[in-house]
Chains A and B, each alone.
Chain A
Amino acid sequence: MAALALLPAAGEAIYFRDKISWRSAIAPSEMITVEQARGWGDTAIWVDARPDDEFASDHVPGAISLNEDRWNELLPPFLAVWVPGKKIVVYCSSLSCNASREVARRLRKEAQLSDVFVLEGGWEAWLKKNR
Chain B
Amino acid sequence: MKTPLLAFTLSMIMCLGARAQLKWEQTSIELHPAATDKQAIGHFKYENTGKTPVHFKSVHASCGCTTAQTQKEEVPPGDKGEITATFNIGDRTGIQIKTVTVETDETPNQKTVLTLKAEIPQQLEVTPNFVFWKQGDMPDTKTIKVKVGKEFKVKHIKVTSSTPDFQTKVEEAGNGQFKIDVKPQDTNKVVASMLTIQAEDSQKVFYATARVTNAPTAPVAPVGPTAPARPSAPAGQTH
Contact = CB atoms under 8 A, between A and B. Distances in A.
Interface of A: 1, 5, 21-22, 27-33, 36-37, 39-43, 50-51, 54, 67-73, 75-76, 79-80, 82-87, 93, 96-99, 102, 108-117
**B-side binding surface: helix, strand, loop or mixed?**
loop
A22 B97 contact: yes
Q: Which of B15, B127, B209 has the most CB of A within 10 A?
A: B209
Contacts of B219: 43, 85
A2 to B, nearest CB: 9
Given A84-B134, A85-B219, A114-B228, A79 B209 contact: yes
A36 B64 CA distance: 27
A51 B92 CA distance: 13
A113 B130 contact: yes
B209 A40 contact: no
Interface of B: 11-12, 15, 19, 62-65, 88, 90-92, 97-99, 115, 126-130, 132, 134, 192, 194, 206-207, 209, 211, 213-214, 216-220, 223-228, 230-231, 233-234, 237, 239
Given A72-B206, A84-B213, 10 more contacts: A28-B225, A30-B225, A68-B65, A70-B91, A93-B64, A96-B62, A109-B231, A110-B127, A112-B234, A114-B230
A84 B228 contact: no
A99 B90 CA distance: 13
The interface centre, meaning the residue of A76, A85, A87, A108 with most chain B CB atoms within 10 A of its CB, is A76
A31 B231 contact: no
Contacts of A30: 225, 228
A111 B237 CA distance: 12
A37 B209 CA distance: 27
B231 A68 contact: no
B224 A32 contact: yes
Contacts of A50: 64
Contact of A112 (B99, B128, B207, B214): B128
